[in-house]
Amino acid sequence: MSRRKFIKRTFWGLTGIGILGGLYSWQIEPFNLEFVKVKMPIKNLPNELIGKTLMQISDSHIGNRFDYNFVIDSFKKAKEYNPDFVVYTGDYVSTYKDKVQYDKLKEVLNHSVKGQIGTIGVLGNHDYGVNWSQKEVADKISEILTSKGVHVLRNENIELSGLNFIGFDDFWGLEFNPEKAMKGFEKSKANIVLCHNPDVCDINIWSDYNSWILSGHTHGGQVKPPFLPPPMLPVKNKKYSSGQIKLSNDRTLYINRALGHLWQVRFNVKPEITIFESENA
C-alpha cells in the first residue's frame, strides 16, 4: 500500500470512528439506564430493616433538553424492584432561560416511584430557577412533589420505621441551612443524610455524624475519557465525581450519576438509578 493510500484510509477510518462515537454518545448512552446495586451498612439499624432496599433517583432534569419520556420509562422499570424506601436527591427540572416546565414535571411525577415504607426528596440548584435565585420556583416544585406523594425535606428530618432521614436544602439555593437540618441528628439512631451537592461534605457542620450521605448534582461529569477523570465537574472538590467515597469520621458519601442530563451527551457515564440494600454496620 502506498503512503498516500494509507493516509487516506486512516483518515476515513478515524472519521468513521468519530461519527459512530458521536452517535453513540448522543443517541445511545444517554438512554442506556443502569441499575446499580450497593450494600449499605448502617449503624443502629433496627433488625426489622435489615435487608430492606432504598432506591436513589437523582437529577431527572425535566424540561426541553431531552425527551422526558425516557424518565417515565425509567420509572416504570424502577417500580419492578418494589423498593422499601425511595429518595429523590434534587434537580427535578432544568432551568436557565427557559420557562419552568411545571406541566411536564407533573406528567412525569404521575409515574414516580414510591417506597413501600416512605418516599422522600430534597431540592437541587435547578429547582431554584434562573441563577438559583427564585424562591417561588422552589416552593412550587416542593408543592408539586408533595402533591405527588414525595415528602420534601428542607433543612429538616423525618424518621420512618426507625430510619432517620436528614434533608438539606440545596447548597447553592436560597435557603441552605445545614445547622438547622443537623439538629435532627442523634448518634444513637440509624441516619441517612440527603443533600444534592456533595461539596457540603467539606463544610464544618458534621460534628460526629458517622453514616451515609446521598448526593447527585455531578452527573458523573457525563463524559469520562478512559482511564482519566471527568474533565468537567460542577463541584469545588474534584474528587466528588460519582459512586461510593469514604470520608472522615466514618462517613460514606454516595454520588448518583443522574437519571437525566443537562445536555444529551454521555460517554462512559451511563444514567443511573441506585438500589441500596441495608445491613447492620
- Counting other chains too, the contacts that 202-211 makes at CB distance below 8 Å and 24 or more residues apart are 202/236, 202/237, 203/178, 205/178, 205/179, 206/182, 206/249, 206/251, 207/182, 208/249, 209/182, 209/185, 209/249, 209/251, 210/43, 210/249, 210/250, 210/251, 211/42, 211/43, 211/251, 211/252
Give residue 13's pLDDT.
37
Alpha helices in the chain (DSSP H): 3-23, 69-79, 102-109, 135-147, 178-181
Give residue 260's pLDDT.
96
Tell me the Cα Rg of the chain.
20
Strand 85-89 versus strand 163-167 pairing type: unpaired
Instruction: Name the helix (H) or strand (E) containing 57.
Output: strand 53-57
Which residues of the chain have a pLDDT value below 70?
Answer: 1-22, 96-98
Report phi then psi at 179, rounded to 5. Answer: -60, -40
Q: Are 76 and 156 in contact (CB under 8 A)?
A: no
Q: Are 259 and 59 in contact (CB under 8 A)?
A: yes
Q: What CA–CA distances, in Å, run from 141 to 88, 94, 114, 131, 150? A: 13, 12, 17, 16, 11
* Cβ neighbours of 185 (radius 10 Å): 18
Q: Taking each helix axis from N to C terminus, what angle separates 135-147 and 102-109, rounded to the nearest 10 degrees?
A: 30
Residue 117's Cβ-count burial label (10 Å; 0-12, 13-18, 19+) is middle
Q: Which three cell numbers stand for residue 275?
A: 438500589
* CA nearest neighbour of 244 among 208, 222, 269, 213: 213
Strand 53-57 versus strand 85-89 pairing type: parallel
Q: Are 62 and 101 in contact (CB under 8 A)?
A: yes
* CA nearest neighbour of 32 among 278, 198, 257, 279: 257
Give the C-alpha separation, 197 to 251, whole Å.
Answer: 16
